[in-house]
């Protein structure tokens, strides 16, 4: 869970200049997993495809939500509402979800970060936010991570399971940075319409069922 990793950190660097493919169906910037129709399913949001032929990767801070059809984009909100309206804390959490889906912000990164900041404040997680574009670091993959960590004076780097496919652990050791694996298996909590607990869902699921205070305690 991202919020658990953030809560264990002193500084959180938000990558802005690294490239991702907005066409990729599994790109983390366009989907979240929730309980929909009593089953864990992915909820997708449309992103604007690059207009220039042959372009695949787009910097994170340039990826835009596809608002060409606002109704298509905002239809996700009633999906969330209909599936969580009977959750114990729906009345508290739904306005926050609504602010995300009804936002006029075109840039994916800005829309996502506005939502994240609201959640961080409400679950009382305080952390120094640093945007990578002000650090003047170039390069890619592990080399970029090491440069950023050194720039912000980090001695320990928290990494999740997703880093195993590309991360070169030896480069961190060579630069005096200790690696610490961050994993989080939450205590099972009540999930609406479910008899068995489902892992790996959006923080929205926890908020709807536990409330802001409950998620803070869970983390």
CB 60 within 8 A of CB 16: yes
Name the average pLDDT for the chain. Answer: 89
Q: What is the DSSP string of 130-173?
A: EEGGGTT----HHHHHHHHHHHTT-SEEEE-GGGGGT--HHHHH
Res. 72: pLDDT tops 70? no
pLDDT digits (tens, 9 = 90+) for 76-116: 889 999 999 999 999 999 999 999 988 889 999 999 999 99
Q: What is the DSSP string of 24-78?
A: -TT-GGGEEEEEETTEEEEEE--BPPPSSTT---EEGGG-BB--SSHHHHHTHHH
Lowest mean pLDDT among 111-125, 129-143, 168-182, 189-203: 129-143
Q: What pLDDT is recorded for position 217?
A: 94
Res. 203: pLDDT tops 80? yes
What are the structure tokens assigned to 194, written together? 């479910």
Rounded Cα distance, 64 and 107, in Å: 4
CB 159 within 8 A of CB 179: yes
Rounded Cα distance, 92 and 94, in Å: 6
CB 9 within 8 A of CB 129: no
Q: What pLDDT is recorded for position 85?
A: 94
Q: Which pTM was predicted?
A: 0.88
How does residue 55 score in pLDDT terms, banded at 50, 70 and 90? confident
3-state secondary structure 2-33: HHHHHHCCCEEEECCCCEECCCCCCCHHHEEE
Q: Over pLDDT 70: what percentage of the chain?
A: 95
CB 33 within 8 A of CB 43: yes
Res. 139: pLDDT tops 80? no
Domain range for 15: 2-218
3-state secondary structure at position 102: coil
Task: Specify the number of domains making up the chain.
Answer: 1
Res. 165: pLDDT tops 80? no
Lowest mean pLDDT among 47-56, 64-73, 89-98, 128-137: 64-73
Q: What pLDDT is recorded for position 164?
A: 60
CA 213 to chain centre: 20
Q: What pLDDT is recorded for position 117?
A: 95
Q: What pLDDT is recorded for position 123?
A: 96
CB neighbour burial string for 88-125, b if at least 16 within 10 angstroms, e if fewer: ebbeebbeebeebbebebeebbebbbebbeebbebbeb
Q: What pLDDT is recorded for position 29?
A: 86
Q: What pLDDT is recorded for position 67?
A: 80
Q: What pLDDT is recorded for position 149?
A: 92
């Amino acid at each position: 869970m991202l919020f658990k990793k953030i809560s264990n950190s002193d500084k959180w660097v938000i990558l802005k200049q690294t490239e991702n493919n907005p066409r990729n169906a599994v790109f983390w910037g366009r989907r979240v997993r929730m309980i929909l129709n009593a089953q864990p399913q992915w909820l997708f949001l449309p992103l604007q495809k690059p207009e220039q032929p042959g372009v695949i990767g787009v910097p994170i801070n340039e990826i835009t939500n596809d608002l060409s059809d606002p109704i298509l984009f905002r239809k996700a909100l009633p999906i969330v509402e209909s599936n969580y309206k009977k959750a114990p804390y729906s009345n508290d959490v739904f306005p926050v979800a609504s602010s995300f889906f009804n936002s006029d912000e075109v840039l994916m990164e800005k829309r996502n970060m506005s939502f994240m900041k609201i959640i961080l404040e409400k679950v009382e997680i305080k952390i120094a936010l640093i945007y990578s574009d002000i650090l003047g670091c170039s390069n890619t993959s592990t080399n970029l991570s090491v440069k950023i960590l050194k720039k912000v004076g980090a001695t320990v780097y928290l990494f999740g399971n997703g880093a195993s496919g590309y991360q070169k652990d030896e480069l961190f050791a060579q630069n005096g940075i200790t690696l610490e694996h961050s994993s989080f298996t939450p205590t099972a909590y009540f999930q609406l319409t479910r008899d068995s607990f489902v892992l790996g869902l959006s923080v929205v699921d926890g908020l709807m069922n536990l409330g802001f205070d409950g998620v803070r305690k869970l983390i």
